[in-house]
Amino acid sequence: LKSAQDHPNKIKQKSHAPSPNKISKRIAVAMGADPADLVIKNVSWLDVFNGLWHVSDVAFFDGVIVGVGEQYDGRSVMNGSGLFLVPGFIDSHVHIESSMMTPHRFQEVVLPRGTTTAIWDPHEIANVKGLPGIDWALKEAATCTMDIFVMIPSCVPSTEAGMGLETSGAVLKAQDLEIYRNRDGVLGLAEMMNWPGLVNGNSEVIKKLHDFQGMVRDGHCPELSGKALNAYAAAGIHSCHESTTLGEAQEKLSKGIHVLVREGSCAKDASALLPLVTQRSAAQIGFCSDDRNPLDIEESGHIDCIVNMALRGGHDPIEVFRSASFAAAKIYGLNDRGAIAPGYLADVVLLKQDGNWKKGCEVVKVWKNGAEIDAQSFLRSPRESAPFLGRNINIPKNLLSTADLALKSSREGGVECRVIGVRPGQIVTDDVKARLACKDGLVQNDLAQDIIKIAVFERHHATGNHGVALVQGFGIKSGAIATSINHDCHNLIVTGSSDESMLWALQELLNIDGGIVVVSDDGRIERIKLSIGGLMTADAPKEISASLRRLKSLARSLGCVLDEPFLQLSFLALPVIPTLKITDRGLVDGRSFKITDVVHGAQN
């Protein structure tokens, strides 16, 4: 049996469109006249249509399932007795960039965990690189072993460019996007985060929805309800992965907005939403990871993580596995997958459990297009390097100085300041009032109050834009952290105990052209270079994990008290989330959507 990943760079065939000759061969194998490629004998397989388990042989040929319910001979045979076969999992909404891995590397870690298809919104690389970023995403996706479909980012940048709240690498208008409608591998328009624009009839938003009619148009509407949710649905939005309560999710689903149950690294909704999955609704509800970091994928899994949460929570495995595969296939119109039945892609996961689904299950083997996934072979085979997308940071290095980090005030002594209050494990922040010392016209850090500086530097267009503010909650007592990952504009963000350490971390970030850097006051440094857009690397997943562990360890030694210092830092620049955020334009009040002063009565 030839391994699918032998040719990782070959454009995958449309397996749902076999030639007449291939159809005839499939028929001959199904009839038992010719041997199958592989037969799994006596396995319990899930019939997603009736919602039943059956025990029989399952035969693969030519990348598809050709026989169930009967005995078959195969060139390769394995005993499936006591094991369970379910359709390959589908990640119904993911920003692969958040894994820091290229799609080729991402598949190395998620395919062995049973995810055979992902629906990718390449929103982050599109913010940084614009249309070439989307083109790169399509090219990468097309050459993966797993099926990665692309949704075209609808909101680049996240706030309307005219509001002047932030500077993104690109501004994508409706007319830029419509040409992607007919590109291979594109399923529709990605999450329409600008629901205020939609319900107010913003013409750009309407044009984007119009241009992608007949395709899936994903939503993103946390807490939207009532008439505004009706308007959102009436405009054609078909899904949402932002529900956080059961009632919110049920209302969305009742209005035809398919619920995608998310378990990301920051946003963890599965526990709250899984009760929505019933015998009636399971085929209408998908699972997704959205933003999941490499350590979480390595340690607790991908879609299999949600599957196991559901099983351990006592959900019927039939409903769980229907949601994990069949539902997402139906929601995205992928009619060639999501079921174990003749003619369907042989994208399947073989599972074992310990006599009781409530203990969860374990992936034994995974097949994609009928080829067994061998996690080790990915390591042995050379990967194609991701094509170069040019430099990531466009800031003249010698222009940065500690002067750029100054927070000025004409009032000597104590000044009243507005400080970004970080909440551990959340992306919402508090609007904290604090009194800080001011010396020689400069507001001072206050480590006793855990208040330090935070700054964002525009990195795409050499505008020199930069914003400086204050943050409470990191716990950093020495050194600094800087990264080029921060949602959604992905400028450079830095926080630290002193202007000098912040400057060093920034300069090191410039040296590696994007990534994550942690420096200590005693001269220690850890870094990961993210050469693709300052967001991703083609390095091996194990190396990424090792680097991240070293970075987190050093951050902890600086005094950092957050479990996810880099993720939390990366969301402090997202102005659409309340309450206080920082962008390259300054401190943003996320309720009024206005730039605001850090220092009360300041003369910055």
Nearest approach in angstroms of CB 16 to a copy of itself is 7
| Residues from 408 through 467 that contact a copy of itself (CB under 8 A) | none
H/E stretch holding 109 reads helix 103-110
Nearer to a copy of itself, 27 or 379 (CB): 27
Whole-angstrom distance, CA of residue 315 vs CA of residue 276? 11
For 207, the token pair is 């044009």
Nearer to a copy of itself, 331 or 400 (CB): 331
Q: What is the DSSP letter of 290?
A: B
Nearest approach in angstroms of CB 344 to a copy of itself is 6
Nearer to a copy of itself, 221 or 266 (CB): 221
For 184, the token pair is 């291979």
H/E stretch holding 203 reads helix 203-211
Q: Is 226 in the site for a copy of itself (CB under 8 A)?
A: yes
Applying CB under 8 A, among 162, 182, 214, 396 the residue interacting with a copy of itself is 214
Nearer to a copy of itself, 84 or 504 (CB): 84
| Residues facing residue 117 across a β-bridge | 90, 147
Binding segment toward a copy of itself, per CB under 8 A, in 73-81, 131-139, 159-167, 230-238: 230-238
| Residues from 316 through 345 that contact a copy of itself (CB under 8 A) | 318, 322, 330, 333, 335, 339, 341-344
Nearer to a copy of itself, 19 or 592 (CB): 19
| Residues from 53 through 92 that contact a copy of itself (CB under 8 A) | 54, 64-70
Nearer to a copy of itself, 77 or 538 (CB): 77
| Residues from 275 through 304 that contact a copy of itself (CB under 8 A) | 276, 278-284
* Distances from the Cα of 603 to the Cα of 230, 409, 443, 591, angstroms: 46, 6, 11, 23
Binding segment toward a copy of itself, per CB under 8 A, in 10-18, 161-169, 426-434, 558-566: 10-18
Locus of tokens 């920082």: 582
Output the DSSP codes for 476-495.
--SSEEEES--TTT--EEEE
* One-letter amino acid of 354: D
| Residues from 231 through 260 that contact a copy of itself (CB under 8 A) | 231-237, 250-251, 253-256, 258
For 357, the token pair is 């689904």
Strands 147-152 and 186-192 come out as parallel
H/E stretch holding 481 reads strand 480-483
* One-letter amino acid of 111: L
Q: What is the DSSP letter of 324?
A: I
Q: Is 272 in the site for a copy of itself (CB under 8 A)?
A: no
Site for a copy of itself (CB under 8 A): how many residues? 73
Distance of CA 538 to the CA centre of its chain: 17
Nearest approach in angstroms of CB 329 to a copy of itself is 12
For 465, the token pair is 């834009």
**Backbone phi, then psi, for 555, in 5-degree steps?**
-60, -40
Give the count of beta carbons closer than 10 Å to the beta carbon of residue 18. 17
Q: Is 41 in the site for a copy of itself (CB under 8 A)?
A: no
Nearer to a copy of itself, 141 or 257 (CB): 257
Nearest approach in angstroms of CB 578 to a copy of itself is 23
Nearer to a copy of itself, 251 or 298 (CB): 251
| Residues from 164 through 203 that contact a copy of itself (CB under 8 A) | 198-199, 201, 203
Nearest to residue 312, comparing CAs of 357, 282, 274?
A: 357
Nearest approach in angstroms of CB 147 to a copy of itself is 16
